[in-house]
């Protein structure tokens, strides 16, 4: 019903409408309309009230408002339900809560900015206005042991989207950081909740530095980070970026569910910026150096060490050297 209130305000496009008219149109009590309006305001919509108590939705065309996102979204289930916030601690945290409460597969949580964006390995993810910060709830019918394979999907979908839409040379650093010319433009954080031998839910969080001014980021990140805006010298439409990304993501997730992980790996290999490079992998306090010679059928990185032995790396922090 909240979406219907939003739609009614949206249809009036910049004109005032009374609470009574909304209530009679939707056949609900005025108090309920008021409740939905309050909750829309909390989600970040700017709804002005006139001196006579009428309401007007003020549109900001650059915001990732869910009804606009859904407009040209070409997916079957990813993003059918969208939870939008102007600001939130972390979209992954919101998504995990929704998932625990039974939110359906494909639910997307999106925020204009995050106060406590989470990166991998407990790092902070700086998430100012201008980025695309979102999380997707998934409930794949596969064994928990296969969950790491899923983390590849978001990286491949993001790199493909950036390459196809903007013609930039985006590639992937193992396992799923998206780089442009060795600078990171997108990160993926997957969180999993399992029962004994089933996956309860997976939340895949994606952060894309879209319209971010890199020189406004903390100085320690500036040399290693880029954004679509810095690469293209102009703002991009985050709406199109997110719609295309979700479309690519769903297509690949469908492949995964059909048991075609090898198709995703094929794409990953084509986009890889790690294979053929000297890398250093950090796993806790252990460091391993070698040449990345490939990824196996499960997505593990194969390193050839200096003495010629091969080492399979299932997880760890990868640095190109
Ligand atoms: C990394 O490369 O360290 C992963 C970064 C993941 C960031 C995204 S932004 C949306 C989602 N919400 C979070 O708190 N983190 C992920």
Fold of 278-320: SH3 type barrels. (2.30.30)
List, in sequence order, every residue forming a beta bridge with 315; answer none if it has no partner. Answer: none
Where in the chain are all domains bearing CATH 2.30.30.100?
Answer: 278-320
pLDDT of residue 145: 85
Q: How far is the CA of 203 from the centre of ligand 1 (A)?
A: 11
Global pTM? 0.87
Signed CA dihedral, 293, 299, 305, 310: sign only = negative
Q: Which residues pair with 51 in a beta bridge?
A: none
Whether residue 131 has its Cβ less than 6 Å from ligand 1: no
Determine the topology of domain 66-271 in CATH: BirA Bifunctional Protein; domain 2 (3.30.930)
Q: CA distances (Å), 269 to each of 52, 106, 129, 240, 304, in order?
A: 62, 26, 32, 26, 17
Strand order in the sheet with 108-114: 82-88, 108-114, 132-138, 199-208, 183-194, 177-180, 170-173
What does the pLDDT read at residue 30?
A: 94
Does the Cβ of 114 fall within 6 Å of ligand 1? yes
What architecture is the 2-58 domain classified under in CATH?
Answer: Orthogonal Bundle (1.10)
Q: What distance in angstroms lies between residue 117's CA and the mean position of ligand 1's atoms?
A: 6
Distance 306 CA to ligand 1 centre (A): 34
pLDDT tens track for 241-296 = 999 999 999 999 999 999 999 999 999 999 999 999 999 999 888 999 999 999 99
Does the Cβ of 148 fall within 6 Å of ligand 1?
no
């Amino acid at each position: 019903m909240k979406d219907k209130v939003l739609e009614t305000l949206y249809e009036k496009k910049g004109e005032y409408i009374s609470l009574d008219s909304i209530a009679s149109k939707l056949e609900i009590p005025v108090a309920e309309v008021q409740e939905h309006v309050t909750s829309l305001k909390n989600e970040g919509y700017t709804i002005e009230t006139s001196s006579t108590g009428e309401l007007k939705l003020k549109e900001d065309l650059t915001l990732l408002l869910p009804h606009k996102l859904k407009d040209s979204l070409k997916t079957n289930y990813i993003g059918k339900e969208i939870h939008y916030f102007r600001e939130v601690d972390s979209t992954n945290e919101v998504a995990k809560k929704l998932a625990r409460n039974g939110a359906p597969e494909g639910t997307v949580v999106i925020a204009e900015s995050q106060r406590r964006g989470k990166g991998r390995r407990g790092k902070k993810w700086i998430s100012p206005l201008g980025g695309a910060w979102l999380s997707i709830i998934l409930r794949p019918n596969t064994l928990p042991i296969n969950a790491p394979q899923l983390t590849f999907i978001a990286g491949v979908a993001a790199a493909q989207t950036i390459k196809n839409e903007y013609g930039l040379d985006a590639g992937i650093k193992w396992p799923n950081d998206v780089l442009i010319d060795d600078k990171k433009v997108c990160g993926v954080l997957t969180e999993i909740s399992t029962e004994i031998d089933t996956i309860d839910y997976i939340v895949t969080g994606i952060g894309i530095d879209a319209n971010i001014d890199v020189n406004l980021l903390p100085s320690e990140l500036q040399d290693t980070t880029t954004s679509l805006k810095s690469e293209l010298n102009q703002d991009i439409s985050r709406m199109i970026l997110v719609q295309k990304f979700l479309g690519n993501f769903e297509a690949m997730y469908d492949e995964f569910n059909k048991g075609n992980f090898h198709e995703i790996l094929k794409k990953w290999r084509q986009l890889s910026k790690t294979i053929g490079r000297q890398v250093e992998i950090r796993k806790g306090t252990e460091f391993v150096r070698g040449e990345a010679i490939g990824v196996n059928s499960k997505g593990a990185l194969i390193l050839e060490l200096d003495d010629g032995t091969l080492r399979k790396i299932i997880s760890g922090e990868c640095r190109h050297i």
